[in-house]
């Protein structure tokens, strides 16, 4: 009868809706899976590069008969550098994995941000001095905030370290800290090489580097800004970048003073 038809049409519409939902879900899963596959393939590639260099270095020492001791030393020191590089990539990956966990894993305490920044600058001073780069901190007011100290330290260190790394000899890095009743604001400004307009949207991607060889030379892994962004977002903060090639770069970070779970 008429009722049966209505039921059939209902069942049909419902089935179609479920199918559509399911298809959408599959599509989303595929996107996730693709980016995971890309990540794994990037990781493998990055981890292989130092290993390949080590193998080449070790093989060529082995194949040499009566090589002078100085040459051995040089090769061994090169191998040591590759081991350092591999270690840095693995450490950055471990930091990133920690950041990828849920925000529930944040270890929130009340932290003096002025002191935290002073300590970071103290640690980076020797690196800056090597290139005669002036590293200055300007604190406009005392700031204490509820943050995960380890993650925020990592995030801010990456930004300030980049400002030093991608600078010019005799340049400067200006770090400033300010706050209102709701947020604190970190600004990291440098007079370095800058970032091309078309790269700006990619710099937070894992392993992305504007200039791979330059970044590798100065010890970059392409993971720093991905780590920074994750840490900032976990705190429900925001990060913005402004840059002009050949003039410099500004990173602005905003973090809530009181952690909102």
Contact set with ligand ADP (CB under 6 A) = 158, 162-163, 166, 190, 192-195, 203, 208-211, 215, 220-226, 249
Shortest spacing between CB 216 and ligand ADP, in angstroms: 8
Token pair 């002025």 is at which residue? 114
- Cα–Cα distance for residue pair 2/67, rounded to 1 Å: 96
Shortest spacing between CB 18 and ligand ADP, in angstroms: 42
What letter does residue 131 receive in the DSSP assignment?
A: T
Six token digits for residue 40: 């794994």
Nearer to ligand ADP, 151 or 259 (CB): 151
Shortest spacing between CB 252 and ligand ADP, in angstroms: 12
Six token digits for residue 216: 């590798």
**Best CA proximity match to 219, nearest among 97, 156, 134, 127:** 127
Nearer to ligand ADP, 191 or 255 (CB): 191
Nearer to ligand ADP, 220 or 237 (CB): 220
Shortest spacing between CB 215 and ligand ADP, in angstroms: 4
First to last CA, the chain: 56
Nearer to ligand ADP, 171 or 237 (CB): 171
Contact between 54 and 83 (Cβ < 8 Å):
yes
């Amino acid at each position: 009868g008429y009722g049966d038809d209505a039921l059939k049409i209902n069942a049909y519409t419902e089935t179609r809706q479920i199918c559509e939902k399911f298809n959408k879900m599959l599509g989303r899963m595929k996107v996730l899976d693709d980016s995971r596959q890309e990540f794994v393939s990037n990781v493998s590639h990055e981890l292989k590069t130092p290993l390949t260099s080590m193998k080449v270095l070790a093989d060529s020492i082995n194949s040499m008969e009566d090589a002078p001791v100085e040459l051995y030393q040089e090769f061994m020191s090169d191998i040591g550098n590759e081991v350092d590089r591999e270690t840095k990539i693995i450490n950055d990956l471990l930091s990133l994995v920690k950041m990828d966990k849920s925000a529930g894993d944040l270890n929130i305490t009340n932290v003096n941000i002025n002191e935290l920044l002073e300590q970071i600058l103290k640690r980076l001073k020797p690196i800056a001095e090597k290139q005669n780069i002036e590293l200055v901190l300007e604190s406009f007011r005392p700031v204490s905030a509820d943050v995960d100290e380890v993650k925020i330290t990592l995030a801010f260190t990456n930004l300030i370290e980049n400002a030093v790394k991608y600078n010019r000899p005799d340049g400067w890095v200006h770090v400033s800290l300010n706050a209102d009743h709701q947020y604190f604001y970190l600004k990291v400004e440098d007079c370095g090489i800058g970032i091309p307009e078309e790269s700006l949207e990619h710099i937070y991607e894992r392993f992305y580097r504007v200039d791979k060889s330059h970044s590798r030379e100065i010890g970059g892994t392409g993971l720093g800004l991905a780590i920074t962004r994750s840490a900032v977002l976990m705190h429900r903060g925001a990060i913005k970048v402004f840059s002009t090639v050949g003039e410099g770069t500004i990173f602005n970070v905003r973090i809530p003073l009181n952690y909102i779970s």
